[in-house]
Amino acid sequence: MAGATDRSPRAAKRSDTVEGTPGSQAADSAKRTTAHRERTAGTLQSADRALVALLSFTEQRPEWGVSEIARHHGWDKAVAQRLLTTLTARGFLMCDSTTRRYRLGPAVSRLARVGEHSGVLPSLVRPVLARLLRETGESVVLNVPNGGGYRCAAAVDGTGPIRYTALVGALMPGHAGASGHALFAYYPEAEIRQIFGATALQRFTDTTLTTVDALLERYAVLRDQGWGISHGEYDEAVTAVSAPVFQAGTIAASLTVIGPSHRVRHAADGIVEALLAGAAEATDAFGD
């Protein structure tokens, strides 16, 4: 009919999308809402969820099923399935074909090696090391686990003509000294016995701990007070005060103030206070 208004769905759809009409404003509002949800505080929701999924894999929880991880994070199961499938396709996860449970994949190990070689962790704590040096005057060392021992990842030398010098990259025995105690105190006992109980522990000085039981006793004290001290366990002229540094609730490193025994012994109370503040800051820098 001439002059009649076209009320077909097609015409209605056209009128809704004309710029400036209520329909177009509603559509624009919906788009903005969706964009906001996907970019909360500058983040893309899908990418953020994928990273959250990866960070869900810890030493305490190395495996996840689709339903478990969906329930844990409050996601729709289909969303969780797509996330895990995508991460598996890129090698960040592996799926057991029998149990249908997921574990971290080879791509994560590759990135970990890159991060290790590029010095990510040391770069995060250099300000902490520098401040501890200023506050204590003694050498400060960041150590990371390395098999049954530990490796110096970063260090600053103390002041004065007599000081302890740490070599970045140097490997040290895990059972001799506060630096190792602060690391291995947070390992499960079964793993501690596997690491240190296979062979006799080497004695370096009269104060070196040479049995697993002695180590476990020292570890219990360290966990209780949050720091440890050693007097000449590896080098008889050296005293070390060490505290653990965590990442996502798991031991990542130890932070140690170390120097000549005659100085560190007398200044131990002040060193402990500064060290614990530094270890807390390093833990925050490592992130969760």
On whether the CB atoms of residues 210 and 203 are closer than 8 A, the answer is yes
Percentage helix, strand, coil for the chain under 3-state DSSP, each rounded to 5: 50, 20, 35
What span, in angstroms and rounded, lies between the C-alpha atoms of 228 and 215?
A: 12
In angstroms, the CA 188 to CA 177 distance is: 19
Taking a C-beta distance cutoff of 8 angstroms, is the pair 152, 141 a contact? yes
Neighbours of 23 (CB within 10 A): 15
Q: How many alpha carbons lie under 13 Å from residue 124 in its C-beta half-sphere?
A: 23
Direct distance between the N- and C-terminal alpha carbons of the chain, in angstroms, rounded to an integer: 69
Q: Is 80 exceeded by the pLDDT of residue 53?
A: yes
Average pLDDT over residues 274-284: 95
> Can you tell me which residue has the tokens 């932070």?
255
Q: Which residue has the tokens 């844990």?
A: 72
pTM value is 0.67
For 245, residues 6+ apart whose C-beta sits below 8 A from its C-beta are 125, 142, 251, 252, 253, 254, 255, 279, 282, 283, 286
**What confidence score (pLDDT) does residue 107 get?**
85
Q: What is the mean pLDDT of the chain?
A: 84
Residue 15: which of 23, 3, 6, 4 has the closest Cα? 23
Instruction: Give ∠ CA 186-192-196 in degrees, rounded to 5.
Output: 135
- The mean pLDDT value for 95-105 works out to 92
Q: How far apart are CA 214 and CA 271, in angstroms?
A: 25
Is residue 93 very low, low, confident or very high in pLDDT (cuts 50, 70, 90)? very high
pLDDT confidence bin for 167, thresholds 50/70/90: confident
Structure tokens belonging to residue 87: 């991460």
How confident is the model at residue 164, as a pLDDT? 86
Tell me what percent of the residues of the chain surpass a pLDDT of 70.
82
pLDDT at 117: 62
Confidence of residue 11 (pLDDT cuts 50, 70, 90): very low
Ranges assigned E (strand) in 99-237 = 102-104, 139-146, 149-156, 171-173, 228-231
Res. 197: pLDDT tops 90:
no
Look at residue 127 in the predicted model and tell me its pLDDT: 93
Percentage above 90 pLDDT, the chain: 61
Stretch (H or E) spanning 61: none
Mean pLDDT of 166-180: 93
Say yes or no to pLDDT of 21 above 60. no
- Please give the C-alpha separations between residue 166 and each of 95, 109, 137, 158, in angstroms, as whole numbers: 43, 28, 15, 10
- pLDDT bin (cut points 50, 70, 90) of residue 13 is very low
Closest among 227, 243, 245, 242 to 121, alpha carbons compared: 245
Half-sphere exposure of residue 50: CA atoms within 13 angstroms, side-chain side: 17
Q: Is residue 171 classed as helix, strand or coil in its secondary structure?
A: strand
